[in-house]
Structure 1
Amino acid sequence: MSTVQRLYWRRPKRILLYVLAALLATVLILMNFIALPYYIYAPGEALPLQPMVDVQGGHKTDKGAFLMTTVYVVYAANVYDFLYGLFLPHHQILPATEVNGGLTNSQYDQLEAFMMKAAHQNAEIAALHYLHKPISIATLGVIVLSVERGSTAYGHLVPGDVITGVNGISLSDPNRIFTVLQHAKVGEPISLTVLHHGRIEQMTLHLKLLPAVAGQVSKRPGLGVFLAPDQVVHSPIHITIHSGDIDGPSAGLMFTLEIINQLAPGNLTKGYRIAGTGTMSANGSVGQIGGAAHKVVAASEAGAQYFFVPADTAAGDTNALHAIEEARKIGTHMKVIPVKTLQQAINFLQSLPPKTG
């Protein structure tokens, strides 16, 4: 075979390699823009609450600290994010619908921001009630936090609407609407009185079968909206919580403990670094949260000696289970304390001996 012939056969091979390399580069670039329906959970931070919480007439101490714990939640924007979360320790990948209930990213962010605002309010109410401080609460109804796309309420209700009545009954008790929905049937009409775009309107919506969400085992009838009590709190004690860009309701218990610690005599921390998580209702109940195991890692790395976690009291609750398992897995000396109520948490703190050294 001549030299010319050898070059003739090599050239197509080189061209093929160039084409394959170009195709591979194109695929790798495109993979960067293919969004996946997953979220990545990872340990966040354990942050001292004393700098965040200011209570009029309260006191602050330099011994011990209450710490709120966070979880880093990142949307898997591409395949590389997914692989990143798949192989790193203490990272967890969850389907987007399990995290956001089918909301868009912007709707989910809006929901989380409002939940943090509600956490501030509930912490204030629970703390002032516990201390028997003067407080009055005016309930306006329930506020619409978000509306699921394709639901019966979509196109009728929007975030920020306030439902003030259901089936002709005032919602001075915000739980009434949840009771009505709990006992309603698919297709049943529900009459709503709504403050919509600044005007009172009457709406009749028919209940639709909604898909099950995290923590529920079956489908249920509903409007397809996330709701929360719309309340105004009045108290001569001014309380401000600066949580920055941290969203979600899970710091409620720790906010409440910090407010009480600044108002009550003595030091509830007894000099320890005490981290925790859990939603706080106005009546002092502690509720389940997301990412309990990741928060155990964050608290342990921050040097906390104790970690409050919501107790598992109902079918499907796993916060305490996962927190205890994670603490054992990472070999931390931090003690995990499950609690059902604010009073249980305070009882535990009062039982601690003062930290020495």
Structure 2
Amino acid sequence: MPRRTATLLTSTLLLIALLCAGVLMSVPYAEMSPGPTVNTLAEHDGEPVVQISGHRTYPVSGHLNMTTVRVTGADYPMNLIEAISGWLSNDDQVVPRETIYPKGQSAQQVDRQNAEEFTQSQDSAKVAALRALHIPVASRVVVGTVLKGGAAEGTLHAGDVIDAVDGTPVKEPADVAKLVTKHHPGQTVEFTVTPAKGGGQRRLTVGTKAQDGRAVVGIQAAAAHSFPFTIDIKLADVGGPSAGLMFSLGIIDKLTPTDLTGGTFVAGTGTIDDDGKVGPIGGIALKAIAARDAGARFFLTPKDNCAAAAKDTPAGLRLVKVGTLDDALAALKDIREGKTGALPACPVH
């Protein structure tokens, strides 16, 4: 066999061996890529994303799309070839697996946390939207979670309404921790509660334990709201809190005669709290790509994500910086009136 032929054959066999090794060799990474977008003003899987009953609604047009990031599954064994391909891609990101699936948490625990955050984001989106429209929302402080092994386990239960601590009425979830930590570890605290399972108001004595030198009872207080009419958000297979802003805007658009988008394709992202503050999210660059690929012209971007998003803005997409729900509503007013030169931009640093 000629030397050149032998060299080519050896090189080919070596390349094949390396490729096989790359396919068989799993690496501790996961891939993130642009996910689907969903118009909060339209239907998804055959039913409206935002459903309102018990209050007048108005026709809507255009798009207010929430955006997502697609990730490889917790049990997916990414191989070396896939990792290299992802690193070389402009539209994908390869990150350490622990970034998405932290050590010590099972895939089921991560999914459950994402589902809880998604549910909480829907609740805050409703509150923020109604407050923006000056529609009263009743709220109360409840036991959100009882920690296993905590002092309150067996005495307080998730959903119990916390009326007072040591006789002092509570108005916000943070009030509970402030009142409890006035005690020394080992002392008792009196909770006045209305049980979630029914029955009249009760006074319950709960012991405390030490945590970081402070007294705790082992609960997480939360806010529960009562809405004056029904607002349902129907969207399966989505987790996390990042759609809060777009849900709020979708609700407002349906409850007001003003067509918020003026028929324009607007997408966006951002968490939202009860007071309408917009918070940062992960995967901003991938969500911007998803928005552009879906046809969006404008992308509502949390102000704390602006610097990262502006580094590589997809062609044809205009980033609009927002820090609150009011900022987003003002930006939509400028968009539908054609005053796009006034839109707050994400500056490139």
Q: Is the structural similarity TM-score above 0.5?
A: yes
Q: Provide runs of 4+ in structure 1 moved above 6 Å.
A: 187-190, 194-201
Which of 227, 239, 244 is matched with 1:247 structurally?
239
2: CA distance between counterparts of 1:336 and 1:47? 18
Following superposition of structure 1 onto structure 2, how do residues 83-122 of structure 1 map, counting pairs within 5 Å? Answer: 84-88=82-86, 89=89, 90-96=92-98, 100=102, 102-122=104-124
Match of 2:328 in 1: 345
Match of 2:51 in 1: 54
Post-superposition offset of 1:262: 0.9
Match of 1:6 in 2: none
Match of 1:273 in 2: 265
Kept in 2: contact 1:311–1:338 (CA 8 A): yes
Kept in 1: contact 2:131–2:137 (CA 8 A): no
Kept in 2: contact 1:167–1:190 (CA 8 A): no
Q: In 2 relative to 1, CA 192–258 (structure 1 residues): closer, same or farther, beyond 3 Å?
A: farther
Q: In 2 relative to 1, CA 124–155 (structure 1 residues): closer, same or farther, beyond 3 Å?
A: closer
Q: In 2 relative to 1, CA 259–152 (structure 1 residues): closer, same or farther, beyond 3 Å?
A: same
2: CA distance between counterparts of 1:104 and 1:45? 25
Post-superposition offset of 1:241: 0.8
- 1:136 partner letter: V
2: CA distance between counterparts of 1:96 and 1:155? 32
1: CA distance between counterparts of 2:212 and 2:303? 33
| 1:325 corresponds to 2:311 | yes
Which of 115, 133, 156 is matched with 1:131 structurally?
133
Which range is displaced more, 249-258 or 199-208? 199-208
Q: TM-score, normalised by structure 1?
A: 0.68
Q: In 2 relative to 1, CA 144–171 (structure 1 residues): closer, same or farther, beyond 3 Å?
A: farther
Match of 2:36 in 1: 45
Q: In 2 relative to 1, CA 129–350 (structure 1 residues): closer, same or farther, beyond 3 Å?
A: same
- Gaps of at least 5 residues in structure 2 are 1-16, 44-48, 199-203, 339-349
Which range is displaced more, 272-281 or 225-234? 225-234
Q: Secondary structure at the match of 2:306?
A: helix
Kept in 2: contact 1:286–1:339 (CA 8 A): yes
- Gaps of at least 5 residues in structure 1 are 1-20, 210-220, 313-318
Post-superposition offset of 1:340: 0.8
| 1:143 corresponds to 2:138 | no
Match of 2:274 in 1: 282
Q: In 2 relative to 1, CA 324–234 (structure 1 residues): closer, same or farther, beyond 3 Å?
A: same
2: CA distance between counterparts of 1:308 and 1:272? 13
2: CA distance between counterparts of 1:296 and 1:47? 14
What is the identity percentage for the equivalent residue pairs of Structure 1 and Structure 2?
Answer: 27
2: CA distance between counterparts of 1:320 and 1:172? 34
Match of 2:211 in 1: 207
Kept in 1: contact 2:66–2:268 (CA 8 A): yes
1:281-326 per-residue CA deviation (whole Å, 9 max, x = no partner) reads 11111112121111111101111011111112xxxxxx22221123
Kept in 1: contact 2:301–2:322 (CA 8 A): yes
Q: In 2 relative to 1, CA 77–241 (structure 1 residues): closer, same or farther, beyond 3 Å?
A: same
Q: In 2 relative to 1, CA 113–98 (structure 1 residues): closer, same or farther, beyond 3 Å?
A: closer
Q: In 2 relative to 1, CA 293–171 (structure 1 residues): closer, same or farther, beyond 3 Å?
A: farther
Q: In 2 relative to 1, CA 343–101 (structure 1 residues): closer, same or farther, beyond 3 Å?
A: farther
Post-superposition offset of 1:127: 1.0
- 2:171 partner letter: S
1: CA distance between counterparts of 2:335 and 2:197? 52
2: CA distance between counterparts of 1:255 and 1:278? 10
Post-superposition offset of 1:343: 0.5
2: CA distance between counterparts of 1:66 and 1:320? 19
1:60-95 per-residue CA deviation (whole Å, 9 max, x = no partner) reads 334x11000011133453542575355322223145
Post-superposition offset of 1:102: 4.8
1: CA distance between counterparts of 2:236 and 2:299? 23
